[in-house]
Structure 1
C-alpha cells in the first residue's frame, strides 16, 4: 500500500512539475520586441508567486488525526505512519523545486551568457543578511516548539453510540468494543491524535528539508551563469531579488511548521478533555475542552508573519522609462486588457483549488445506510452482539457550507471577470456595436459540447436528488442553482464579448483576439465546472448504491470508505483542464472568418 502511494505521489509530482515548467515558460516568454528587463522581472515574480502557494503548510494538521472510531495509535500499522511523510516534507520540497525550475525556464531572448566571466561570485555578496538572520531565527523557534511538542501524549479515537436497547456506550480501546467503527451515529466523540514522539519527528524532518532546500537554492542562485541582457549591477540586483523572495517564503514556511506544532499540542489537549468528558458524561467539560489557546496563538503568529513578509522591502529591478514602448505590435489598450485577463485567470485557479477541494470533502464525507455488528458487555459479564442499523441523513449544514462556498466563489469569480470585461469595454473601447461584432465568436461544435456537459451535470444532480435522503435533495438544489447561475453569467459574458464596441487605438487582430478570449473563457469555465460536479456526484452516487437497492436478509456491512472513485478523479481532472483550455481551440478557420486573416487563433493562445 505504501509503495503504491509513493508511486502515485511521484507521478503526481512529476505531472505538476511539468505543468509548472510549461506555465513559467509561457508566462515569461517575451511578446514581440518587449524589453528584456520586463521579461526577466515578470519571470522572477511568477516563480515566487507559484512557490508561495505550492509551499503552504495549511495541510499539516491532518497528519496527526486518527481515522476510525475505536482506533488508537498502538493499533495503527507502523507503515501507515509513513504515509504522512510526503505531506510533512512537501512545503520544503516544493519551495526548492519551484525555485529550481525557475532557473531552467529563462526565456530564450534573455538566455545565459556564453562567454566566461572572471568575476568570482560569493553568496555573501548577494544574500540579504537581515532577512537571512530572520530566517535562521524562525527555524530555531520552530525547532524549539517541536521539542516542546515531543512529549505530547496520544489519544485514541473514541465515540459514544446508542445500542439497540437504547443504552449509550463508549466505542474505543479499553471499553470492550471491537475497533473500527466508521459509520456510527454519535453525539460526542474524540477524534484522537497520534503521540508527539511520532508527530514531532515528522515536523522536524520537514523543517530540516526546508533549511536544506533554502541553502541549496541560495548556492544555485549565486552560481548560475549571468544573463546576457543584464549588466553587472542588474545581475547582482536580480540575484538579491531572488534570494529576498526565497528567504521571505522560507520564513513563512518555517513559522507555518511552528504553528502546526502549536496546533498539535492544542488539539491533543482538546482530545484529552473530550475523552475525560465522555467518561464522566459531562457535556460541559466537552464545551470547555473545545476552547484552547494554542491554536489561536498559532494562527495569529502565522498571520503576523505573513503580513511582515508581505511588506518586507525587496530590491527593485528597474527597466528604462521607454521599456513599455518597445513591446512593438501591441497597442497600450490591448496590453492593459491582456494583463487584466491574465490576472483574473489566476483568480480562477484559486477558486477551483478552494471550492473544488471543499466540495469533494463534503461529498466524500457523507454517510449512507449501513448495518454494523457491535459488541458490548452484558450485565452477566458476557459479550452481547447487537445489529445496529444506522440511516443518518447527510447533514444539511455539513454539505450546505461547502456547496455554498463553491457557489459563492464561482459567482464572485464570474462577477469579477464580468466587471473586468465591462471595464475593458467602457475604458478601452468606443462603445459602438457593429454587425461584425455580433457574429458567433466560437464554433458551433464547441458550444454544443459545453451545453452537453451542462445537461449531463444536471442529470447527475437529479440522480443525486433521488438518492433517498431529504438533505441530499436539498443539497442537489444548491448544486443545480450553482450550475444555473454559472450558465447564466457565462451566457452574459459571451453576449458582452459580442456587443462590446471596437478596441480603441487597436487593430482588427487585437479586437477579435480579445473577443475570442473573453467568449471562450465564459463558455469553457461553465463546461469545466459541469465536469467537476459530475465527478463529485459520481462518488456520491456510487456510495449511495445501497440506499437505492433493497437490503438483503443477511447482516452485511454496507459502509463506504469515503475515498474518491476513479470516475471522480478522471472527471475532476478533465474539468480543471477544460477550465484552462487554450482559446486557440476555436480553430484557425473560424478565426479567419471573423478577422479575415490567419493570425487571430495564434494570438488567442492559452488565456
Structure 2
C-alpha cells in the first residue's frame, strides 16, 4: 500500500508539473500575441493560439502516457506487486487528463488586441450544441467500457488477473480439470480503469463547459467566435475519445485473447472484434478532430447584440 501511495503521489506531481509548464507557455504566448484591433488580425492570432494549445496538449498527454506505459509495473524502484502492468494500463487515460488540463488553460489565455477592444457578441453557446455527435460517441464509448469492465470483473478468477478455462466433457476425458488464462482485466484492473474512464468523461465535460461559457474572443465576429469554439470542442473531444477509446479497445483485445486461450471462443472473438471496432473508430474520430474546418473569411462585424467596449 505504501508503494502504491508513493507511486500515485509521484505520478500526480509529475503530471501536475507537465500541466504547469505547458500552461505557462500558453500564458506567455497569449500575452505576447497582441494583434491589431481588426477582424483579420484578431482572428489569425486566435487561430494560432488554438493550434498552439492543441499541439501542446497532445504533446503533454503523449509524454505522460509514454512515461507510464514504459514503466510497466511501476515507476523507478516503486512496484505494484499485486497488480502488474496497472500503471501502463492507466497511461492513456492519465495522458488524456493532462491534455484536457492544458486545453482548459488554453481557454483562459486567448490573445487580446492592442488598444481599445472592439465589442463582442453576447450570445451564449451550449455544450450540447458544441459537442454534437462527438459528445455522443464519447458517452457511448465510456458506457461500453464500463459495462465491459463490469463483466470482466465478474468473470475473472479469484486472483482477478485471469479467466477460468472452459471445462468441457472432452477436456475432462483427456484429464484436464481446470486452469485459467491471463492477463485478464478483473477487478484489480477494472476498478481503476473504470474510475479513469469516468474521470476523462467528466473532465472533458468541464472543459466543454469552459468552451461554451467563456467570453467571446475580443475583436472577432460572431461566426468567427463560433468557429473558434467548435475548434476547441473538437480538440477536447478528440483527446478524450483517443484516451478513452484507445483504453477500451486495448482492454477488449487483451480480454479477448485470454478468453480464446481459455476456450471461450464466442466471447473471445466478440471481444476482439469489438475492441478492433472501438479502437479504429476512436482513432478516426481523433484524427478528424485535427483537420481544420473552413472558417468564414474575416470581414466587417455584423450588427447584433453587443457588449460594451473594454480596454
TM-score by structure 2 length?
0.64
Measure how far apart 1:49 and its partner are. Answer: 2.9
Query: 2:149–2:190: 8 Å Cα contact kept in structure 1?
Result: yes
Q: d(CA) in 2 for partners of 1:149 and 1:222?
A: 37
Measure how far apart 1:303 and its partner are. Answer: 3.5
Give the corresponding residue for 2:306. Answer: none
Distance 1:125 1:206, change over 3 A: closer
Larger radius of gyration: 1
Query: 1:147–1:200: 8 Å Cα contact kept in structure 2?
Result: yes
Once structures 1 and 2 are overlaid, which stretch shifts more, 299-308 or 258-267? Answer: 299-308
Query: 1:200–1:261: 8 Å Cα contact kept in structure 2?
Result: no
Q: d(CA) in 2 for partners of 1:121 and 1:83?
A: 40
Q: Alignment partner for residue 145 of structure 2, among 142, 151, 174?
A: 142
Distance 1:191 1:319, change over 3 A: farther
Give the corresponding residue for 2:308. Answer: none
Give the corresponding residue for 2:54. Answer: 48
Give the corresponding residue for 1:201. Answer: 191
Give the corresponding residue for 1:260. Answer: 250
Q: d(CA) in 1 for partners of 2:116 and 2:140?
A: 35
Query: 2:69–2:87: 8 Å Cα contact kept in structure 1?
Result: no
Report how many aligned residue pairs link the two structures: 261
Give the corresponding residue for 1:298. Answer: 275
Q: d(CA) in 2 for partners of 1:202 and 1:235?
A: 38
Measure how far apart 1:222 and its partner are. Answer: 1.5
Q: Which structure would you say has the larger RCO, counting Cα contacts within 8 Å and 6 or more residues apart?
A: 2
Distance 1:315 1:47, change over 3 A: same
Query: Where does the alignment leave 5 or more consecutive residues of structure 2 unmatched?
Result: 75-79, 163-179, 300-311
TM-score by structure 1 length?
0.36
RMSD (CA atoms): 4.4
Query: 2:100–2:204: 8 Å Cα contact kept in structure 1?
Result: yes
Measure how far apart 1:123 and its partner are. Answer: 1.0
Give the corresponding residue for 1:448. Answer: none
Query: 2:57–2:103: 8 Å Cα contact kept in structure 1?
Result: yes
Query: 2:130–2:233: 8 Å Cα contact kept in structure 1?
Result: yes
Q: Structure 1, residues 388-441: CA drift from partner, whole Å, max 9, x if none?
A: xxxxxxxxxxxxxxxxxxxxxxxxxxxxxxxxxxxxxxxxxxxxxxxxxxxxxx
Distance 1:4 1:196, change over 3 A: closer
Distance 1:110 1:82, change over 3 A: farther
1:238 and 2:228 equivalent?
yes
Measure how far apart 1:119 and its partner are. Answer: 3.5
Q: d(CA) in 1 for partners of 2:208 and 2:98?
A: 15
Measure how far apart 1:62 and its partner are. Answer: 5.6
Query: Where does the alignment leave 5 or more consecutive residues of structure 1 unmatched?
Result: 68-72, 157-189, 274-290, 322-607
Give the corresponding residue for 2:166. Answer: none
Measure how far apart 1:215 and its partner are. Answer: 0.9
Measure how far apart 1:202 and its partner are. Answer: 1.4
Q: d(CA) in 2 for partners of 1:106 and 1:143?
A: 36
Q: d(CA) in 2 for partners of 1:264 and 1:111?
A: 58
